[in-house]
Amino acid sequence: MARSRTSPTQQRLLQRLHQLSPGQIVRFSDFEELGLSAPAVASALNRLTRTGQVQRVAKGRYRIAPTGRFGPVPPSEQQILTSLLQAPATGSLEYPTGAAIFNRLGLTTQLPREIEIATPRPKPARQIGTVRVRYVRNAGAGRPEEIALRQLLDVLRRIKRVPNARPANVLMQLREKVRQLPAAQKRRLVDLALTYNPATRALLGALLEQVGESTLTEPLRQSLNPLSTYRLGLSAADLPNRDLWRIR
């Protein structure tokens, strides 16, 4: 397609895009440092898209697509996540969860067909390039350092739904990950768990007892209904102290 009559604004945007890593996705706000107004950036990007110099991958998101052997290379999962997981001015941080994280933690070999993002506010699913993005309601993370702890709790909450994995095997791997956490992070894990459902709190309590952290479990125990039971597909052999936490 023709690339003539490139305006000074378009040239500045192209220069900025070429300074980024190949295929990186950007938003209008990523050009604020250039001192251009949002309408000017939007207009220039739209013209660059029409001339084929820039690719629009979703509403308000653009990139220069790298060219491979078979044409433009689609955006990677990491590039999509980077463009989506922007810290809001206020409120909790969104973070990746679900099958992609289960795979990254080594809990399943199944590769996800979509990206799940935990968010404190419900959002509709969206398509970015060839990747479907689904939003899952959760409390969100207050600080970036909480994200890994939230992801561990998300696994506990969905222990029966980790693809191609037995709950007992998932628990065994999580037990070791929790064991290796510094003491401060174990305490923070308990605090965060109090915002999760009762089954997750019970399972974390049982797991902490197994790694020798019984002194941390009292807030979890106090938060549970003593008459409730939690059917998580774990036998006494899988979790020897399950009866103390009314886990089945």
Ordered mean pLDDT values, 10 residues apiece, the chain (248 residues): 70 90 86 85 91 87 87 81 65 80 86 83 82 83 84 94 91 94 96 95 97 96 95 94 95
Say if 154 falls within a structural domain.
no
Is 48 in the same domain as 105?
no
> Is 52 exposed, middle or buried (CB count within 10 Å of its CB: 0-12, 13-18, 19+)?
exposed
Say if 153 falls within a structural domain.
no
Is 105 in the same domain as 171?
no
Q: What is the pTM of this model?
A: 0.78
Q: How many CB atoms lie within 10 A of CB 167?
A: 19
What's the confidence (pLDDT) of residue 206? 97
Q: What's the order of all strands across the beta sheet hosting 131-137? A: 95-97, 114-119, 131-137, 126-128
What's the confidence (pLDDT) of residue 91? 55
Q: Report the C-alpha gap between 57 and 180 in whole angstroms.
A: 40
Is 66 in the same domain as 110?
no
Is 111 in the same domain as 42?
no
Is 192 in the same domain as 209?
yes
Say if 157 falls within a structural domain.
no
Is 241 in the same domain as 170?
yes
Number of domains in the chain: 3
Asked if 232 and 201 count as a contact pair (C-beta separation under 8 A), the reply is no
Range of the domain at 178: 166-248
